[in-house]
Amino acid sequence: MRRTIAITAIVGAGILGGCAVQSGPARQPFLPASSVERSAATTHVPISLDVEILSAKSLKNRRWASLDATIASPAARSVAVYYGNDRSPIVSASVGRGVAGCKPNAFGILCHVTFDVNSETRGFTIRTFDAPSLSKKKPGGRNLAVGYTRQLVRKSSVVLRAALNSTVGQVKLSVANATPASGRATNLGLHIDVEDLDGFTIVTGDYYGASTAADALFLDVAAQPYGGNGLSFTVNGKPNAAITTWSDSYKLSYLGSGVFSADLTLIQQFSYKKFGSLTISPKPVFSAVAGSPRLGAASQLVAPPEGTVWFTQPDLHEIGILDNGKVTEQTLPSGHTPTMIAFGYYYAPLLKIVFATQEHTVGIMDNQRESTESPPSTDSPITGISYDGNYDAPVFVAQSGVFGEYFGDKLDVQQVSGTPRLTGLAQAESGWAFADAGNHDIGFFLGTIIPENPYITVPLPAGSGTPSLVAYGPGQMSWIAESDKNQGAIVYSSAKKFQTGAPLTSMTSLSSPYDRTGLMAATDSAGNIEVFDQTGALLETLHPPDGAASGIVAGPSGDLFYVCASCARGLHRIVY
């Protein structure tokens, strides 16, 4: 996701002060006298220029916003004054501690530079340098990039207000905590340093807190997952407001969820020039679910949106339910062993849980835990289960190629042609998708599972391995895992491959399938958890600290739940 947060740059152009007082015909203001004008004029005016060389402490504490002097950076060691844009200065003088005409004050060092200018002159440029002056007309060292054309007034002392530097060299973003713990709202401690070309902090655009549209900087947030709103930026307590003065208080907070990572960049409004960037990556927090029983590697999980987590317990012939922090277990009236589980809604909000058993039956359970179960639907193991909300019926596939639906009083089935070996089933756009390891493709069944409704198949890309399971992912894409290769496929009207760290054993979407972008999480054969973006790019591999993960599901708050078969408490949670 990209969000744009306005920040007005705390830098600005130099400020022109005073008015021109001239003899002779009126001329256009703000222009330096030409060489011809200067040579023809005979009257000169003595000028005394005050130059404030700030101390590092004053710069840090911003204690110079009311000074009546030309502000120079702490590195200034000489100052030169020029007619307009002339290359040769009128005068050059050393400045700094111990130099004649310079005295320490509360802000640093205040220096007085005196020189004569042509009375016809209406503007000049001040430049500072990082080494002492070599002569009265030759500054020393490196130009510190501070240069302004100023209007003169006819008096013995010229008072100018000027920013430290109107040219942004770089902007640095930093935070006190770039990896906050997931699930905990945190002030990230954002700090923005705007530096000039010499590396000194620019504190304000001018002394009155005014800013121009050209100074505006925007905090651009590119976050995963797309649409995540896990960050908050405020100025003086107002969301996404602009910084207009150095006294404004800004704050960047992580809200505890809703973002996997976010890249922050400052962008100038009109030029779209990019300044400093950084990445915020909340750190996952792993924990075992209190009271959960030991689970086997074959246990499956589902997490309906209302906040419960359901899981199969084949070893105990039960279905477990985590609800409001409490785990309960449900035995099927038939005494059969549940092996697979899925959920759906019948005229929402009526939650329905569907399941398949080791005895080749399928069944349906409501949120009151009342269940009905089919007679044996096939002689082959059931390898996928889903729910048809139009008919309040479980949909299933069997390894032998049977595709069926149980309507309570009848069982409709179809047989996939060729040499099928069906290995997985998931909801898909307008129907269901099934993985077919025998025919090496993915099939799609549109609508209700009745003989009149045909299915279609999409071949997997060349070089693909054996399809082992299917999941419904971002953009209504079907994601296929392969049991014998470190890769998978994303399928819509065609298929493309994506790479994995190891063969995947379970998959879940971290966002609604109707979102075009989002994240997918999967367990792999090494027991790790792999996280992918919507294109299939591997973003991160998580290593569960307590034992290998063998099944995974995304909870309604964005948390992940997974099975740890080697743990005494088999259900684990990741605040992600």
The pLDDT of residue 447 is 74
Give residue 65's pLDDT.
46
Work out the average pLDDT over 144-154. 49
Higher pLDDT, 356 or 172: 356
pLDDT at 430: 79
Give the whole-angstrom CA distance, residue 360 versus residue 376: 5
pLDDT in tens, 406-436: 988 888 888 999 999 999 999 988 789 999 9
Instruction: Please give the distance of CA 173 from its chain centroid, rounded to a whole number.
Output: 14
User: What is the per-residue pLDDT for 165?
Assistant: 37
Confidence of residue 353 (pLDDT cuts 50, 70, 90): very high
Distance from C-alpha of 198 to C-alpha of 189, rounded to nearest angstrom: 26
- Residue with the larger pLDDT of the pair 505 and 489: 505
Q: 384-410, pLDDT tens digit by residue? A: 999 998 889 999 999 999 999 998 888
Helix (H) or strand (E) holding 72: strand 70-72
Q: Which residues contact 482 (CB under 8 A, 6 or more apart)?
A: 464, 465, 466, 467, 468, 488, 489, 503, 504
Q: What is the 3-state secondary structure (H, E, C) of 247-272?
A: CCCEEEEECCCCCCEEEEEEEECCCC
pLDDT at 265 over 50: yes
Average pLDDT over residues 159-168: 41
Question: Residues 190, 263: contact at Cβ < 8 Å?
Answer: no
State in words which class domain 296-510 has.
Answer: mainly beta
Name the amino acid, one letter, at 345: Y
- Supply the pLDDT for residue 4: 36
Instruction: Determine the pLDDT at residue 61.
Output: 56
The answer to whether residue 94 scores a pLDDT higher than 50 is yes
Quick: pLDDT tens for 528-539: 999 998 889 998
Per cent of the chain over pLDDT 90 is: 36
DSSP 166-212: SSEEEEEEE-S-SSPBTTS-EE---EEEEEETTSPBP--SSTT----
Q: How confident is the model at residue 82 (pLDDT cuts 50, 70, 90)?
A: confident
pTM over 0.75: no
- Closest C-alpha among 72, 23, 17 to residue 50: 72
- Asked whether the predicted pLDDT for residue 202 surpasses 70, the reply is no
| 237 close to 253: Cβ distance less than 8 angstroms | no
The band of 217, judged by pLDDT with boundaries at 50, 70 and 90, is low
Nearest CA-CA partner of 475 in 544, 430, 429, 408: 429
63: confidence class by pLDDT, cuts 50, 70, 90: low
Name the nearest CA neighbour of 520 among 573, 474, 488.
474
- Determine the pLDDT at residue 340: 96
Every domain of the chain and the residues it spans: 2-9+168-280, 35-158, 296-510
Report the CATH architecture of 2-9+168-280. Sandwich (2.60)
Task: Calculate mean pLDDT across residues 155-164.
Answer: 42
pLDDT at 426: 94
- As a whole number, mean pLDDT of residues 450-477 equals 86
Is the pLDDT at 276 greater than 90? The verdict is no
Instruction: Write down the pLDDT at residue 559.
Output: 86
Give the mean pLDDT of 287-298: 93
